[in-house]
Amino acid sequence: MGTLQTSGKRDLRYGIIGAGMSGILTAIKLQESGTTNFAIYEKAEKLGGTWRENTYPGIRCDVPSHLYSYSFEPNPDWSHPYSPGDEIQGYFEKVSAKYGVDRVFKDGQGFKYFKSKVKILSPKPQNISPKPQI
């Protein structure tokens, strides 16, 4: 696995929006491919996505815990078949630290900077034909 560049100037090739389950996975897979010029931009001060945002009493996953984890990082120690949110949040924090994702994570300030520098493109409705052209 490559070493992530965490200091100094670098050309950013990829910006991952959001540090939830998918953002963490994307960062790990980019790192495994040897790509180090990326950052995760997150609106909050810590990673976790859904499990960071939702902390109400009794929250748990509706997917069996052994399936709601990364195949390359199984957790045989889930406390319940359908684990509580704080346990899932802890899993993502542990995996992020193990794979160095926490070193490329940019909290809310980084996300504000990213939004100010990047134009997100989307198709304009007038470019989409209502009828197929034959």
Read off the pLDDT of residues 24-78 as tens digits, 9 standing for 90 and up. Answer: 999 999 999 999 888 888 888 888 888 989 989 999 999 999 999 999 999 999 9
The pLDDT value recorded for residue 13 is: 81
In a domain, 131, yes or no: no
Q: What is the pLDDT of residue 72?
A: 96
Task: Kindly report the pTM of this predicted structure.
Answer: 0.74
CATH number at residue 102: 3.50.50.60
Is residue 51 included in any domain, yes or no? yes
Domain that holds residue 108: 14-119
Domain count, the chain: 1
Q: How confident is the model at residue 1 (pLDDT cuts 50, 70, 90)?
A: very low
Q: Are 93 and 48 contacting, i.e. CB atoms less than 8 angstroms apart?
A: yes
| More confident of the two residues 88 and 119 | 88
Considering the domain boundaries, does residue 5 fall inside one?
no
- Is a pLDDT exceeding 90 seen at residue 5? no
Per-residue b/e over 59-80, b at no fewer than 16 CB within 10 Å? eebeeebeebbbeeeebeebee
Kindly tell me if the per-residue pLDDT of 134 is higher than 70. Answer: no
Residue 2 lies in a domain: no
Give CA–CA dist 37/127, Å, rounded: 34
| pLDDT at residue 93, rounded to an integer | 93
